[in-house]
Structure 1
Amino acid sequence: MTRTPRAQHRRATAVAALTLALTAAAVQPARAEPGTLEEVRAELQRLYHDAAVATDKYNAADEKVTRQSKRVRTLRTQVGAAERKLSRLTSRAGAAARAQYRSGTGASLPAELQFVLAENPEAALDGATRARQAQQGTMDVVAALVTTGEELRTRADEASDVLRRLKANRRAKDTEREKVERRITEAERLEDSLAASQRRELDGLDTRDANAAQDRWLDTGALDRAGTTTTAAGKKAVEYAARQLGKPYIWGAEGPGGYDCSGLTSQAWLSAGVTIPRTSQMQWQGLTRIPVGSMRPGDLIVYYDDASHIAIYIGDGEMINAPRPGRNVTIAPAGSMPILGVVRPGA
């Protein structure tokens, strides 16, 4: 097929600019250098997608460490409380025994002899019975506290072992962090290699494809039954997301200066008093799934087969999301990316 002079010029410019940038930066791409602007765009999408997947893995490992740390602190607090209670009870029991001994009612005479010598044998018998009951009750409580304390210490030690393993796993996931940084650096260098006109053309291609995908999605009737109203919590979540518009995408961030995609959705719902999982994959796996046609503002739209992106639906076929590095939190067509499904926090 014969290319037009304009297409030939565009291809030559893209190849030259890309080659120059890659050589200057001493970057060895994992695949063959892209040539046409479409190929450059496909490579950018691959790099940013890889970065999103690696971000989710790192965030998931970090979230597990955070949760387990809280569990260990809680168990250690419970152990301390049980030990303090045991100490107080043991001290009181010891004091009672010493007082009984000093008063001559306990250790000086056996209960049988006290009964024989007492002026009021019935009262003596009642007193002895109550004393034994009190002593036995104290011993039972002390024994229960000792058992509880031992169980709590065992659970706390086990939880600490789990925490150590999770921290080791998170350190291993530092390779995921490095992978994210490499992918983002490669993508940024690739974008920087293009002329301003080419970057505008890339943006135009993105907008064109997003609108076309949205039109195809709307043509399916996906929004015919979608809700236009939401709960008070859903409204708060949407309002929070709207206040973040214009803030930069920062991988691994949960605000307030910037967000990654799931950092934005989790914080939006946290502002409404609902705690949800940290990553897009965990949100997809852990929240109630809703038919796409039944979604309402505040619901979360999960994208791609690997649940690597997520956004908050705001109604009228639009969503708010933190798209990728180099972009800001923005409003976009809800159907502009392949939808995996919809989940509803607090359902």
Structure 2
Amino acid sequence: MGSGKRSLIAAAVTVVCAVTVLGAPGTAFASPGPTPNSSSSPSSSSSSATTSPDLTPAPSTDLEAVREKLDALYHDAAVATDAYNAAEEASKKQSAELVELAKKIVEGQQKLDELKDRAGAAARSQYRTGGLPDEAQLMLSDDPSEFLDGAGRVLQGHRATKGLIGELTRTQEDLEQYSQDASAQWQKLETNRKAKATAQKKIEKQIAAAEKLESQLAEKEKERLAQLQEQAAQKAQTAWLDTGILDEIKGKASVQGKQAIEYATAQIGKPYEWGAEGPGSFDCSGLTSEAWKSAGQAMPRTSQEQWKQLPHVAVADMRPGDLIIYFDDASHVALYVGDGSIIHAPRPGRTVTLAGAGTMPILGVVRPDA
């Protein structure tokens, strides 16, 4: 094996190893769904919470303001989680493509070496005949039968030489293209690695701020805060049901929809963790994507991509198994299970749970098996 071949194979192995490291998912986490806020939308308060969250504990008489701050912080963490999940999915795809390109580079170099060996053998053969090409030897022949045989060999030699040169050229061009593609994929992988790191920092910052804010409350204030959160959810659900929407929703679950619901139901009680897709913990889109994967239906990983790519249906036309997308920025998703209820992974500190479908602002509904 030549030194060039050894170095290329070594380089390809290095690429594969590096891709494995860069493509490996970071600490598993995911997409929190904030407690509904009936008095203000999360998008309107998220920018200030992102830049410089106010962590001054509110007096016990102003726990509603604390609830709103927490909603904003967890909402921003949810948006950043979607960005993290999207970057991680792209990194996985790019890593796989880089590995395949590395294999093609090694195989291409092996083929090129073989072609060069064939060309070298042809050159050595010509040297052994005195350096005269087949055409010259043919013209010097006095035997008619040898002349005819030689003419056939010359024609075959021309074709073989032309084919060898063409194959060498194509192989070299393929190797150059593989190298360019690998370089481009490497740049994309590095870009997504940075995007993941940025999103992770933002997620951790927002969650840490929310936890700090809650830790500054006295036990009685925490209890009162939990009551306020529950009351806000009940108020939003009641308002949604009062529209008479359940009288319009009459769809029946499909076979796959039932399977997705069975999977999601079995996860109730498991903790929320951003970036997680199970089996021990989930984020909101990790739960919905895995539920439908269990039913044999592949789908996008993030709530925003689920909203963008899956077929939309009217809320009045939804059926159990459909996905409800929440908030204007599609930062949360849940699985509709019927009777005005959803199963979802809410946010950090919570578990997969059954809740009212109207407890958060509904953006729309998508159907994975449309």
Q: TM-score range by the shorter chain?
A: 0.7 to 0.9
Deviation at 1:246, TM superposition (A): 0.9
- 1:75 matched to 2:101: yes
Q: Do 2:57 and 2:213's aligned partners in 1 also have CA atoms closer than 8 Å?
A: no
Match of 2:110 in 1: 84
Say if 1:147 and 1:250 are closer, same or farther in 2 by CA, change over 3 A.
Answer: same
Q: Distance in 2 between matches of 1:84 and 1:214?
A: 66
What CA RMSD, in Å, does the superposition of the two structures yield over aligned residues? 3.0
Q: Aligned partner of 1:277: which letter?
A: P
1:305 counterpart SS class: coil
Summarize deviations over 1:156-204 as a string: whole Å, max 9, x none.
Answer: 1122123223323333334313323324313542666435753563354
Matches within 5 A, 1:105-254: 107-115=131-139, 117=141, 118-120=143-145, 121-186=147-212, 188-189=214-215, 193-194=219-220, 198=224, 201-202=227-228, 204-219=230-245, 221-224=247-250, 227-232=251-256, 234-254=257-277
Deviation at 1:312, TM superposition (A): 1.6
Say if 1:53 and 1:110 are closer, same or farther in 2 by CA, change over 3 A.
Answer: closer
Larger mean CA deviation between 253-262 and 174-183 belongs to 174-183
When the two structures are aligned, how many residues end up with a matched partner?
Answer: 315
Q: Aligned partner of 1:140: which letter?
A: G
Q: Distance in 2 between matches of 1:183 and 1:343?
A: 33
Please identify runs of 4+ aligned residues in structure 1 that moved more than 6 A.
Answer: none
- 1:280 matched to 2:306: no
Percent identity among equivalent residues? 41
Q: Do 2:57 and 2:66's aligned partners in 1 also have CA atoms closer than 8 Å?
A: no
Q: Distance in 1 between matches of 2:248 and 2:72?
A: 28
Say if 1:45 and 1:77 are closer, same or farther in 2 by CA, change over 3 A.
Answer: same
Structure 1 spans left out of the alignment, 5+ residues = 1-27
Match of 1:311 in 2: 334
Q: Do 1:228 and 1:316's aligned partners in 2 also have CA atoms closer than 8 Å?
A: no
Say if 1:38 and 1:146 are closer, same or farther in 2 by CA, change over 3 A.
Answer: same
TM-score of the superposed pair, with normalisation by structure 2: 0.74
Match of 1:11 in 2: none
Match of 1:33 in 2: 58
Q: Aligned partner of 1:134: which letter?
A: A
Q: Do 2:323 and 2:334's aligned partners in 1 also have CA atoms closer than 8 Å?
A: yes
Q: Do 1:115 and 1:124's aligned partners in 2 also have CA atoms closer than 8 Å?
A: no
2:215 counterpart SS class: helix
Answer 1 or 2: higher relative contact order, Cα 8 Å, separation at least 6.
2
Q: Do 2:237 and 2:357's aligned partners in 1 also have CA atoms closer than 8 Å?
A: no
Deviation at 1:261, TM superposition (A): 0.7
Deviation at 1:116, TM superposition (A): 5.4
Match of 2:363 in 1: 340
TM-score of the superposed pair, with normalisation by structure 1: 0.78
Say if 1:273 and 1:204 are closer, same or farther in 2 by CA, change over 3 A.
Answer: closer
Deviation at 1:69, TM superposition (A): 2.6
Match of 1:16 in 2: none
2:252 counterpart SS class: coil
